[in-house]
Amino acid sequence: MARVVELSYYPVKGCAGTSADQALLTPAGLAHDRSFMVVSEDGVYRTQRRDPLLAVIRPLITSEGDHLTLTAPGAASLHLRVDISGARRKVDLFGTAYQGIDQGDEAADWLTDLLGAPSRLVRTPPEHDRVTDGLTPGTSGYADSSALHVISRSTLDLLNTRLTARGAHALPLNRFRPNIVIDGWDDPHTEDRAHRLRIGDTDLGYAKLAIRCAVTLVDQHTAARAGPEPLRTLAAYRRAAQGGVAFGTKYAVLRPGRVAVGDEVTVTVWGESEL
């Protein structure tokens, strides 16, 4: 029987995640997931691809979403009252224009000092209405694409078997920053073919494969970046038809609700892998 064994959400895009035993699943994903984003002075998104130090920033958001705390090694903690009514500003995410609510100069100064580059913190406005792509369209905050990123334990086990066979180190799941981790699927990459999932009282629709990038080269505890693993090994057996290498899948939320570690995962519709 397949079950949820880990839940994680990432309040600030590119920063450390928060583990949860249970969470509210909204149309845009787990509550508070990627609802904030660090941007340059001209509004362009920052991610670990260019700013790996984001990995060591640990956000803590209250359940109501009204207070945010940021911590990082060697820096004083930053405590913010979240602004959801301030002036909107244009932000750029992968070349697409969205709106963000700037969270003020104190947050900007803290991030600028830590990252060594002029930065500001923005939040999705209440009217944020992004439409995501894939076989099942949906919505999300400032995530790269769809609302949820799902990986199975057997998928990681296969990768680590191949890595260690090449003399490389096994990797933890946080290298891939999933929202939901599933155990109980014997076959690796079962998530490729699971086109409708029921978890608790929620339903998910398969959107697309998760195409991996240089973020997987970043140690999520130290922000150290070193190549070429895992991308080199993945390239040997997970080249996607659309280009790049695939590991894990993206889902849209069809029916919101609550999810919890231990929830049974039922595949209600199977499909073919897009690999």
* CA neighbor of 160 nearest in space, from 173, 149, 151, 171: 171
The pLDDT value given to residue 226: 84
What is the residue whose two structure tokens read 């790996």? 52
Distance separating alpha carbons of residues 262 and 160, to the nearest angstrom: 24
pLDDT tens profile 236-265: 999 999 899 999 999 999 999 999 999 999
In order of their start, the domains of the chain are 3-7+132-270 (2.40.33), 30-129 (no CATH)
Sign of CA dihedral 150, 145, 241, 47: negative
* DSSP classification of residue 95: T
Give the pLDDT confidence of 216-241 residue by residue, as tens digits: 999 999 999 988 999 999 999 999 99
Q: If we measure between CA atoms, which residue out of 212, 161, 202, 162 comes closest to residue 180? A: 202
pLDDT score for 227? 85
Q: Is the dihedral of CA 137, 14, 65, 98 positive or negative?
A: negative
Residue 177: CA atoms inside 13 Å, Cβ hemisphere, count?
29
Burial class (CB in 10 A: 0-12, 13-18, 19+), 244: middle
Report the pLDDT value the prediction gives residue 171, as an integer from 0 to 100.
97
Handedness of CA 110, 111, 114, 117 (dihedral sign): negative
- How many Å apart are CA 71 and CA 156, to the nearest integer? 29
Average pLDDT over residues 7-20: 98
- Cα 261 from Cα 272, distance rounded (Å): 27
* Mean pLDDT score across all residues of the chain: 97
Read off the pLDDT of residues 129-165 as tens digits, 9 standing for 90 and up.
999 999 999 999 999 999 999 999 999 999 999 999 9
Nearest CA to 246 out of 215, 209, 192 is that of 209
Tens digit of each residue's pLDDT (9 = 90 or more) over 46-66: 999 999 999 999 999 999 999
Is the per-residue pLDDT at 118 higher than 90?
Answer: yes
